[in-house]
Homo-oligomer: A and B are copies of this chain.
Protein backbone atom coordinates (compact mmCIF):
# COMPACT_ATOMS: atom_id res chain seq x y z
CA UNK A 1 0.00 0.00 0.00
CA UNK A 2 1.68 3.15 -1.25
CA UNK A 3 0.30 6.24 0.49
CA UNK A 4 1.02 9.50 -1.31
CA UNK A 5 0.22 11.78 1.64
CA UNK A 6 -1.87 14.80 0.62
CA UNK A 7 -1.30 14.36 -3.13
CA UNK A 8 -4.84 14.90 -4.49
CA UNK A 9 -5.81 18.49 -5.12
CA UNK A 10 -8.60 20.84 -6.11
CA UNK A 11 -8.46 22.19 -9.66
CA UNK A 12 -6.95 25.59 -10.41
CA UNK A 13 -8.11 26.62 -13.89
CA UNK A 14 -9.28 23.06 -14.28
CA UNK A 15 -5.88 21.55 -13.56
CA UNK A 16 -4.33 19.70 -10.63
CA UNK A 17 -0.69 18.66 -10.16
CA UNK A 18 -1.72 15.11 -11.10
CA UNK A 19 -3.23 16.22 -14.42
CA UNK A 20 -0.20 18.36 -15.29
CA UNK A 21 2.70 16.09 -14.29
CA UNK A 22 4.25 13.57 -16.68
CA UNK A 23 4.02 10.25 -14.85
CA UNK A 24 4.04 7.25 -17.20
CA UNK A 25 4.51 4.71 -14.44
CA UNK A 26 1.75 6.08 -12.21
CA UNK A 27 -0.56 6.10 -15.25
CA UNK A 28 0.51 2.55 -16.07
CA UNK A 29 -0.51 1.52 -12.56
CA UNK A 30 -3.94 3.09 -13.15
CA UNK A 31 -4.19 1.29 -16.48
CA UNK A 32 -3.68 -2.16 -14.97
CA UNK A 33 -5.85 -1.39 -11.91
CA UNK A 34 -9.41 -1.07 -10.90
CA UNK A 35 -9.67 2.61 -10.00
CA UNK A 36 -11.96 4.86 -8.05
CA UNK A 37 -12.33 7.69 -5.63
CA UNK A 38 -12.19 7.14 -1.89
CA UNK A 39 -13.29 8.95 1.23
CA UNK A 40 -10.72 7.82 3.74
CA UNK A 41 -13.08 8.59 6.65
CA UNK A 42 -16.47 9.50 5.08
CA UNK A 43 -17.68 11.96 2.44
CA UNK A 44 -17.11 15.53 3.57
CA UNK A 45 -15.13 14.57 6.68
CA UNK A 46 -11.69 16.26 6.71
CA UNK A 47 -9.17 13.61 7.70
CA UNK A 48 -6.04 13.95 9.73
CA UNK A 49 -3.15 11.77 8.58
CA UNK A 50 -3.49 9.73 11.76
CA UNK A 51 -7.23 9.05 11.56
CA UNK A 52 -7.04 8.30 7.84
CA UNK A 53 -4.11 5.90 8.23
CA UNK A 54 -6.05 4.08 10.95
CA UNK A 55 -8.93 3.68 8.50
CA UNK A 56 -6.63 2.54 5.68
CA UNK A 57 -5.31 -0.16 8.04
CA UNK A 58 -8.87 -1.28 8.73
CA UNK A 59 -9.33 0.39 12.12
CA UNK A 60 -12.43 2.56 12.56
CA UNK A 61 -10.96 5.90 13.71
CA UNK A 62 -14.20 6.79 15.50
CA UNK A 63 -13.55 3.79 17.72
CA UNK A 64 -9.77 3.59 17.98
CA UNK A 65 -8.40 7.12 17.62
CA UNK A 66 -6.65 8.19 20.81
CA UNK A 67 -5.96 11.82 19.95
CA UNK A 68 -2.52 12.91 18.81
CA UNK A 69 -0.59 12.63 22.10
CA UNK A 70 -0.40 8.82 22.32
CA UNK A 71 0.24 8.43 18.58
CA UNK A 72 3.16 10.86 18.65
CA UNK A 73 4.52 9.20 21.81
CA UNK A 74 4.35 5.76 20.16
CA UNK A 75 5.94 7.26 17.07
CA UNK A 76 9.02 8.41 18.99
CA UNK A 77 9.39 5.01 20.58
CA UNK A 78 7.60 5.10 23.94
CA UNK A 79 5.69 1.91 24.69
CA UNK A 80 2.15 2.60 25.90
CA UNK A 81 -0.37 0.61 27.89
CA UNK A 82 -4.11 1.28 28.01
CA UNK A 83 -4.74 4.09 30.48
CA UNK A 84 -1.43 5.89 29.91
CA UNK A 85 -1.92 9.59 29.22
CA UNK A 86 0.38 11.04 26.57
CA UNK A 87 1.12 14.62 25.56
CA UNK A 88 3.01 16.21 22.72
CA UNK A 89 5.62 18.50 24.27
CA UNK A 90 8.11 21.17 23.34
CA UNK A 91 11.06 22.73 25.08
CA UNK A 92 10.43 26.42 25.61
CA UNK A 93 11.92 29.51 27.22
CA UNK A 94 10.07 31.14 30.11
CA UNK A 95 10.94 34.26 32.16
CA UNK A 96 9.71 35.83 35.40
CA UNK A 97 9.50 35.10 39.12
CA UNK A 98 7.55 32.63 41.20
CA UNK A 99 6.36 29.17 40.16
CA UNK A 100 6.29 27.88 36.59
CA UNK A 101 2.68 29.09 36.36
CA UNK A 102 3.70 32.67 37.15
CA UNK A 103 6.20 32.76 34.29
CA UNK A 104 5.69 33.97 30.76
CA UNK A 105 6.59 32.02 27.61
CA UNK A 106 8.99 34.07 25.47
CA UNK A 107 9.96 31.34 22.98
CA UNK A 108 7.92 28.19 22.36
CA UNK A 109 10.94 26.54 20.71
CA UNK A 110 13.72 27.64 23.12
CA UNK A 111 15.75 29.16 20.27
CA UNK A 112 15.06 26.09 18.12
CA UNK A 113 17.15 23.90 20.37
CA UNK A 114 17.62 20.42 18.97
CA UNK A 115 20.20 18.70 21.14
CA UNK A 116 17.88 17.87 23.99
CA UNK A 117 19.20 14.40 24.88
CA UNK A 118 20.75 15.48 28.23
CA UNK A 119 17.70 17.53 29.18
CA UNK A 120 15.40 14.60 28.47
CA UNK A 121 17.62 12.36 30.57
CA UNK A 122 17.42 14.79 33.50
CA UNK A 123 13.65 15.11 33.21
CA UNK A 124 13.29 11.33 33.43
CA UNK A 125 14.99 11.44 36.86
CA UNK A 126 12.34 13.67 38.43
CA UNK A 127 10.38 12.03 41.25
CA UNK A 128 6.58 11.95 40.81
CA UNK A 129 3.78 9.94 42.49
CA UNK A 130 3.27 8.02 39.22
CA UNK A 131 5.57 6.52 36.64
CA UNK A 132 6.19 8.71 33.63
CA UNK A 133 8.47 8.95 30.60
CA UNK A 134 9.84 11.79 28.50
CA UNK A 135 11.19 11.01 25.01
CA UNK A 136 12.98 13.20 22.52
CA UNK A 137 11.28 13.91 19.21
CA UNK A 138 12.65 15.94 16.28
CA UNK A 139 14.13 19.39 17.05
CA UNK A 140 12.71 21.07 20.14
CA UNK A 141 9.88 18.54 20.34
CA UNK A 142 9.29 15.73 22.79
CA UNK A 143 6.59 13.38 24.04
CA UNK A 144 5.61 12.94 27.70
CA UNK A 145 3.65 10.00 29.07
CA UNK A 146 2.14 9.60 32.53
CA UNK A 147 1.35 5.99 33.28
CA UNK A 148 -2.10 4.73 34.19
CA UNK A 149 -3.93 8.03 34.68
CA UNK A 150 -6.98 6.83 32.69
CA UNK A 151 -8.42 10.13 31.51
CA UNK A 152 -8.47 11.82 28.14
CA UNK A 153 -9.44 15.12 29.68
CA UNK A 154 -6.28 16.98 30.67
CA UNK A 155 -5.88 20.50 29.31
CA UNK A 156 -2.75 21.93 27.66
CA UNK A 157 -0.12 23.68 29.75
CA UNK A 158 1.17 25.21 26.51
CA UNK A 159 -0.49 28.61 26.02
CA UNK A 160 0.26 28.21 22.26
CA UNK A 161 1.32 31.88 21.95
CA UNK A 162 4.31 33.75 23.29
CA UNK A 163 3.76 36.50 25.83
CA UNK A 164 1.32 34.44 27.89
CA UNK A 165 1.84 32.57 31.13
CA UNK A 166 2.28 28.83 31.31
CA UNK A 167 -1.14 27.31 31.95
CA UNK A 168 -2.13 25.07 34.82
CA UNK A 169 -3.40 21.70 33.64
CA UNK A 170 -7.04 20.99 34.44
CA UNK A 171 -8.63 17.57 34.38
CA UNK A 172 -11.87 15.86 35.24
CA UNK A 173 -9.81 14.09 37.92
CA UNK A 174 -8.17 16.52 40.36
CA UNK A 175 -5.29 14.14 41.22
CA UNK A 176 -4.37 13.91 37.53
CA UNK A 177 -4.08 17.68 37.16
CA UNK A 178 -2.07 17.79 40.39
CA UNK A 179 0.48 15.24 39.12
CA UNK A 180 0.86 16.99 35.77
CA UNK A 181 1.27 20.39 37.41
CA UNK A 182 3.84 18.93 39.82
CA UNK A 183 5.71 17.63 36.77
CA UNK A 184 5.55 21.09 35.17
CA UNK A 185 7.09 22.73 38.26
CA UNK A 186 9.77 20.09 38.86
CA UNK A 187 10.68 20.00 35.15
CA UNK A 188 11.17 23.77 35.24
CA UNK A 189 13.39 23.58 38.36
CA UNK A 190 15.43 20.74 36.81
CA UNK A 191 15.86 22.46 33.46
CA UNK A 192 16.55 25.96 34.84
CA UNK A 193 19.71 24.85 36.66
CA UNK A 194 20.81 22.15 34.16
CA UNK A 195 24.39 22.53 32.85
CA UNK A 196 23.17 22.48 29.23
CA UNK A 197 21.11 25.58 29.94
CA UNK A 198 23.90 27.26 31.92
CA UNK A 199 26.13 26.73 28.92
CA UNK A 200 23.45 28.05 26.54
CA UNK A 201 23.08 31.16 28.72
CA UNK A 202 26.85 31.73 28.60
CA UNK A 203 26.75 31.44 24.80
CA UNK A 204 23.92 33.95 24.57
CA UNK A 205 21.35 31.26 23.65
CA UNK A 206 17.87 30.98 25.09
CA UNK A 207 17.46 28.54 27.94
CA UNK A 208 15.24 25.51 27.33
CA UNK A 209 13.93 25.98 30.86
CA UNK A 210 10.37 24.69 30.51
CA UNK A 211 8.56 21.87 28.79
CA UNK A 212 5.07 22.69 27.54
CA UNK A 213 2.42 20.00 27.13
CA UNK A 214 -0.45 19.78 24.66
CA UNK A 215 -2.79 17.32 22.91
CA UNK A 216 -3.45 14.94 25.81
CA UNK A 217 -4.86 11.58 24.89
CA UNK A 218 -5.32 8.33 26.73
CA UNK A 219 -4.06 5.07 25.28
CA UNK A 220 -6.86 2.69 24.40
CA UNK A 221 -7.19 -1.06 24.19
CA UNK A 222 -6.46 -1.62 20.50
CA UNK A 223 -6.49 -5.17 19.08
CA UNK A 224 -3.30 -5.85 17.18
CA UNK A 225 -3.19 -6.11 13.39
CA UNK A 226 -1.86 -9.64 13.77
CA UNK A 227 -4.81 -10.59 16.00
CA UNK A 228 -7.39 -8.98 13.76
CA UNK A 229 -6.14 -10.06 10.37
CA UNK A 230 -3.62 -12.81 11.17
CA UNK A 231 -1.10 -10.85 9.12
CA UNK A 232 2.27 -9.19 9.77
CA UNK A 233 2.17 -5.44 9.17
CA UNK A 234 5.16 -3.23 8.41
CA UNK A 235 4.83 0.54 8.22
CA UNK A 236 7.65 2.36 6.41
CA UNK A 237 7.72 6.08 7.16
CA UNK A 238 9.96 8.84 8.40
CA UNK A 239 7.05 10.63 10.09
CA UNK A 240 6.48 10.10 13.82
CA UNK A 241 2.71 10.44 13.48
CA UNK A 242 2.49 7.64 10.90
CA UNK A 243 4.97 5.46 12.77
CA UNK A 244 2.78 6.03 15.83
CA UNK A 245 -0.28 4.74 13.98
CA UNK A 246 1.73 1.67 12.96
CA UNK A 247 2.72 1.09 16.60
CA UNK A 248 -0.83 1.70 17.83
CA UNK A 249 -2.08 -1.24 15.77
CA UNK A 250 0.89 -3.37 16.80
CA UNK A 251 2.77 -3.21 13.51
CA UNK A 252 6.50 -3.12 12.91
CA UNK A 253 7.72 0.35 11.96
CA UNK A 254 10.80 1.19 9.97
CA UNK A 255 12.53 4.34 8.69
CA UNK A 256 14.87 3.46 5.81
CA UNK A 257 18.27 5.07 5.39
CA UNK A 258 17.86 8.54 3.87
CA UNK A 259 14.11 8.80 4.51
CA UNK A 260 13.38 12.32 5.75
CA UNK A 261 9.64 12.82 5.49
CA UNK A 262 10.25 15.60 3.00
CA UNK A 263 11.02 16.19 -0.67
CA UNK A 264 14.72 15.49 -0.13
CA UNK A 265 13.85 11.96 0.99
CA UNK A 266 15.67 9.03 -0.57
CA UNK A 267 12.96 7.61 -2.83
CA UNK A 268 15.14 4.77 -4.06
CA UNK A 269 15.78 3.69 -0.48
CA UNK A 270 12.13 3.93 0.57
CA UNK A 271 10.68 2.03 -2.36
CA UNK A 272 13.29 -0.71 -2.36
CA UNK A 273 12.79 -1.10 1.40
CA UNK A 274 9.08 -1.59 0.82
CA UNK A 275 9.65 -4.18 -1.90
CA UNK A 276 12.14 -5.98 0.31
CA UNK A 277 9.75 -5.85 3.28
CA UNK A 278 7.32 -8.03 1.33
CA UNK A 279 9.66 -10.96 2.02
CA UNK A 280 9.05 -10.84 5.76
CA UNK A 281 5.71 -9.02 6.07
CA UNK A 282 2.24 -9.61 4.70
CA UNK A 283 1.02 -6.01 4.54
CA UNK A 284 3.50 -3.23 3.83
CA UNK A 285 2.40 0.38 4.09
CA UNK A 286 4.85 2.78 2.45
CA UNK A 287 4.21 6.39 3.41
CA UNK A 288 5.53 9.33 1.37
CA UNK A 289 5.03 12.62 3.19
CA UNK A 290 6.42 15.22 0.75
CA UNK A 291 3.23 15.90 -1.23
CA UNK A 292 1.46 16.92 1.95
CA UNK A 293 4.24 19.32 2.89
CA UNK A 294 4.12 20.83 -0.60
CA UNK A 295 0.36 21.18 -0.31
CA UNK A 296 0.70 22.92 3.06
CA UNK A 297 3.28 25.19 1.39
CA UNK A 298 0.79 25.89 -1.44
CA UNK A 299 3.42 24.82 -3.97
CA UNK A 300 1.64 23.59 -7.13
CA UNK A 301 4.81 23.26 -9.18
CA UNK A 302 6.58 21.58 -6.28
CA UNK A 303 3.90 18.90 -6.28
CA UNK A 304 4.26 18.48 -10.06
CA UNK A 305 8.03 18.16 -9.77
CA UNK A 306 7.85 15.65 -6.94
CA UNK A 307 5.36 13.48 -8.88
CA UNK A 308 7.83 13.53 -11.78
CA UNK A 309 10.73 12.78 -9.42
CA UNK A 310 8.83 9.86 -7.89
CA UNK A 311 7.53 8.35 -11.11
CA UNK A 312 10.70 6.59 -12.37
CA UNK A 313 11.06 4.84 -9.00
CA UNK A 314 7.60 3.29 -9.40
CA UNK A 315 9.00 0.94 -12.02
CA UNK A 316 10.06 -1.25 -9.08
CA UNK A 317 6.40 -1.60 -8.12
CA UNK A 318 5.38 -2.47 -11.69
CA UNK A 319 7.88 -5.31 -11.49
CA UNK A 320 6.06 -6.92 -8.55
CA UNK A 321 4.54 -10.35 -9.12
CA UNK A 322 0.87 -9.41 -9.31
CA UNK A 323 -0.25 -13.00 -9.09
CA UNK A 324 0.96 -12.92 -5.53
CA UNK A 325 0.92 -9.26 -4.54
CA UNK A 326 -1.92 -6.77 -4.46
CA UNK A 327 -0.68 -3.21 -5.02
CA UNK A 328 -2.70 -0.27 -3.76
CA UNK A 329 -1.72 3.27 -4.68
CA UNK A 330 -3.68 5.97 -2.91
CA UNK A 331 -3.54 8.86 -0.44
CA UNK A 332 -4.67 9.55 3.09
CA UNK A 333 -6.38 12.83 2.15
CA UNK A 334 -6.19 15.75 -0.27
CA UNK A 335 -4.00 18.75 0.60
CA UNK A 336 -4.96 21.26 -2.11
CA UNK A 337 -2.41 23.96 -2.77
CA UNK A 338 -5.16 26.56 -2.83
CA UNK A 339 -6.20 25.61 0.72
CA UNK A 340 -2.81 24.77 2.27
CA UNK A 341 -4.43 22.20 4.56
CA UNK A 342 -6.18 18.84 4.47
CA UNK A 343 -9.59 18.74 2.82
CA UNK A 344 -12.24 16.08 2.49
CA UNK A 345 -12.09 15.97 -1.33
CA UNK A 346 -11.94 12.25 -2.12
CA UNK A 347 -8.58 10.70 -2.94
CA UNK A 348 -7.60 8.65 -5.98
CA UNK A 349 -7.28 4.91 -5.40
CA UNK A 350 -5.90 2.27 -7.74
CA UNK A 351 -5.89 -1.39 -6.79
CA UNK A 352 -4.10 -3.89 -8.94
CA UNK A 353 -3.58 -7.62 -8.94
CA UNK A 354 -3.58 -10.25 -11.66
CA UNK A 355 -7.26 -11.01 -11.10
CA UNK A 356 -8.62 -7.50 -10.64
CA UNK A 357 -11.52 -6.33 -12.81
CA UNK A 358 -9.60 -3.73 -14.81
CA UNK A 359 -11.51 -0.68 -16.02
CA UNK A 360 -10.93 1.85 -18.80
CA UNK A 361 -9.06 4.38 -16.67
CA UNK A 362 -5.58 5.04 -18.05
CA UNK A 363 -4.54 8.04 -15.96
CA UNK A 364 -3.92 8.43 -12.27
CA UNK A 365 -5.71 11.67 -11.41
CA UNK A 366 -8.73 13.08 -9.57
CA UNK A 367 -10.97 13.24 -12.67
CA UNK A 368 -10.11 9.95 -14.37
CA UNK A 369 -10.57 8.05 -11.12
CA UNK A 370 -14.25 8.99 -10.93
CA UNK A 371 -14.88 6.82 -14.01
CA UNK A 372 -13.21 3.76 -12.55
CA UNK A 373 -14.64 0.40 -11.66
CA UNK A 374 -14.44 0.96 -7.92
CA UNK A 375 -16.82 3.93 -8.08
CA UNK A 376 -16.57 5.52 -4.60
CA UNK A 377 -15.28 3.54 -1.63
CA UNK A 378 -14.12 4.31 1.91
CA UNK A 379 -10.74 4.03 3.57
CA UNK A 380 -11.97 1.19 5.78
CA UNK A 381 -12.78 -0.86 2.63
CA UNK A 382 -9.43 -0.91 0.89
CA UNK A 383 -7.58 -3.49 2.97
CA UNK A 384 -10.55 -5.84 2.87
CA UNK A 385 -10.70 -5.51 -0.92
CA UNK A 386 -7.01 -6.39 -1.17
CA UNK A 387 -7.25 -9.38 1.17
CA UNK A 388 -10.20 -10.65 -0.84
CA UNK A 389 -8.32 -10.30 -4.15
CA UNK A 390 -5.54 -12.36 -2.60
CA UNK A 391 -8.09 -14.97 -1.48
CA UNK A 392 -6.98 -14.75 2.14
CA UNK A 393 -10.05 -13.27 3.79
CA UNK A 394 -12.68 -15.09 5.81
CA UNK A 395 -16.17 -15.74 4.53
CA UNK A 396 -19.00 -14.13 6.50
CA UNK A 397 -21.68 -16.79 6.59
CA UNK A 398 -21.98 -20.05 4.73
Contacts and interface: CB of A to CB of B under 8 A. Distances in A.
Contacts of A51: 396-398
Nearest to A384: B44
- Identical copies of this chain, number: 2
B344 A397 contact: no
Q: Which of A51, A68, A383, A396 has the most CB of B within 10 A?
A: A396
A373 interface: yes
A357 B36 CA distance: 15
Interface stretch (A258-266, A300-308, A374-382): A374-382
A75 to B, nearest CB: 11
Q: Is the interface of A mostly helix, strand, loop or mixed?
A: loop
Contact of A357 (B65, B367, B386): B367
Contacts of A11: 355, 357-358
Interface in A363-398: 366-367, 370-378, 381-388, 391, 393-398
A246 interface: no
B391 A48 contact: no
Contacts of A336: 355
A392 to B, nearest CB: 10
A374 B341 CA distance: 21
Contacts of A331: none
A46 interface: yes
A339 interface: yes
Contact of A393 (B46, B372, B384): B46
Contact of A388 (B37, B344, B355, B358): B344
Interface in A334-363: 336, 338-339, 341-345, 355-359
Contacts of A359: 367, 370
B52 A397 contact: yes
Interface of A: 10-11, 14, 36-37, 41-52, 61, 65, 68, 71, 215, 241, 336, 338-339, 341-345, 355-359, 366-367, 370-378, 381-388, 391, 393-398
Which 5 residue pairs spanning A and B have beta carbons closest together? Answer: A48-B397, A44-B384, A51-B397, A43-B381, A375-B376
Given A45-B393, A357-B366, 18 more contacts: A10-B357, A37-B373, A42-B384, A43-B381, A44-B386, A46-B394, A46-B396, A47-B395, A48-B398, A50-B397, A52-B397, A65-B397, A339-B391, A344-B384, A344-B388, A370-B374, A375-B376, A376-B376
21 contacts: A37-B375, A43-B377, A43-B378, A44-B381, A44-B383, A44-B386, A50-B397, A51-B397, A61-B396, A65-B396, A65-B397, A68-B398, A71-B398, A339-B391, A341-B395, A342-B395, A343-B388, A345-B357, A345-B388, A370-B372, A370-B373
